[in-house]
Structure 1
Amino acid sequence: MPDINMKVEDVMQTSIHMVSGLATVREAIVEMKQIGVSALIIERRDESDEYGIVSVEQIATKVIAQDRSVDRVSVYEIMDKPILTLNPHMAVKYAIRLLARFDSRRALVVDENGARGLVTLRELIHVHAETPASEPVGKDE
């Protein structure tokens, strides 16, 4: 039986795949295909910058569906920035609530040292479904 106090760090994927915001959409697609992921994190330009994200959904809706060239569009033109971030010590139930509130499928896990991992709503839901029924997630918590 899973721990009802499971944290985001217990669920997150620790391999983070990053790409420069200056990369073309074609380069991002090739990278996604080679690695087998559906989203890439956009690197920060400096310490004061925030992380971004580009996903296959954004490529489909903002580039291909609009008949734009994958070779002429850079990922910074279509990425979401800043990306939703979570503390690694946040409880899974609160992470689910936060992602749902912002209608987000994934979030970057960061701490004082930078990006630590990536977590998806799907993974969080699967883990939460395994928690004991005696621990409801109420609105008043």
Structure 2
Amino acid sequence: MRAKHIMTQDVATIRGSATVAEAVKLMRLKGLRSLVVEPRHSGDAYGMVTEMDIVGKVAAFGRDPEAVHVYEIMTKPCVVVNPDLDVEYVARLFANTGVWRAPVIQGELLGIVSVTDIITKGNFVDKPKLKFLRKEIQKAVSEARLISANYGSDSKRAIEAWDIVDELEAEATFYGVPKPCRSAREMFGEDKKPATVA
């Protein structure tokens, strides 16, 4: 599942030159917790203004929302997500950066994805990544063994096939699978060694 499958397409945007009072009015009207700040020109970045920006930088200090502009409190450039990014990577990005939502952009603004979208629309409960990875590793090992048998262990195709296995095993380790003493490639290599007579 990818960001484009769970994102919200109806996104409210605001100009950086708008006042915080205008931002609050729009957020209340649409029932939103954040607004995407529009870029000023084609080379400019998107920004984000959140309810915490408003509460922490305006309300907490008694500042007049009519006298403070969005550009003074927004985050710019903000974290953005590619629509084809897998949901688990969106979740990891959010966890690593501390953001709760991000615009989904591919040349233009397509939507917004949030922690709530991951929880309510994501399929990580029904299809956990680790279960998927284990199946992918088994499939990749079988394929690498077959290619090695047909084309030789030192062939370019076999090396590339074992590289895929190594990448999948590394990803599984990242997700918490204990690192094996020997990789599937190493075990295959040991299986192929001729027996020695003492």
**With structure 2 as the length reference, what TM-score do the two structures score?**
0.64
Out of 83, 93, 97, the position equivalent to 1:98 is: 93
Q: Distance in 1 between matches of 2:97 and 2:104?
A: 16
Q: Distance in 2 between matches of 1:128 and 1:58?
A: 31
Out of 18, 30, 35, the position equivalent to 2:30 is: 35
Structure 2 runs not aligned, ≥5 long = 134-170, 176-198
Q: Distance in 1 between matches of 2:21 and 2:114?
A: 24
Deviation at 1:35, TM superposition (A): 1.1
1:62 equivalent to 2:57? Answer: yes
State the match for 1:121 in structure 2.
115
State the match for 1:78 in structure 2.
73
Paired residue secondary structure (1:85): coil
1:10 equivalent to 2:44? Answer: no
Distance 1:139-1:31 versus aligned 2 partners, 3 A rule: farther
Distance 1:52-1:128 versus aligned 2 partners, 3 A rule: same
State the match for 2:48 in structure 1.
53
State the match for 1:140 in structure 2.
174
- More strand as a share of residues: 1
Paired residue secondary structure (2:58): helix
Larger Rg: 2
Residue deviations 1:32-62, cap 9 Å, x none?
1111111111110000100101111110000
Structure possessing the higher relative contact order (Cα contacts under 8 Å, 6 or more residues apart):
1
Deviation at 1:138, TM superposition (A): 4.6
Contact 1:93 1:128 in 2 (8 A): no
Q: Distance in 1 between matches of 2:172 and 2:102?
A: 22
State the match for 1:3 in structure 2.
none
Structure 1 runs not aligned, ≥5 long = 1-5
Paired residue secondary structure (1:131): coil
Aligned length: 135
Deviation at 1:121, TM superposition (A): 1.4
State the match for 2:14 in structure 1.
19
Contact 1:50 1:81 in 2 (8 A): yes
* TM-align CA RMSD: 1.7
**With structure 1 as the length reference, what TM-score do the two structures score?**
0.88
Q: Distance in 2 between matches of 1:14 and 1:102?
A: 23
Q: Distance in 2 between matches of 1:139 and 1:64?
A: 45
State the match for 2:152 in structure 1.
none
Deviation at 1:99, TM superposition (A): 1.1
- Poorly superposed stretches of 4+, deviation over 6 Å: none
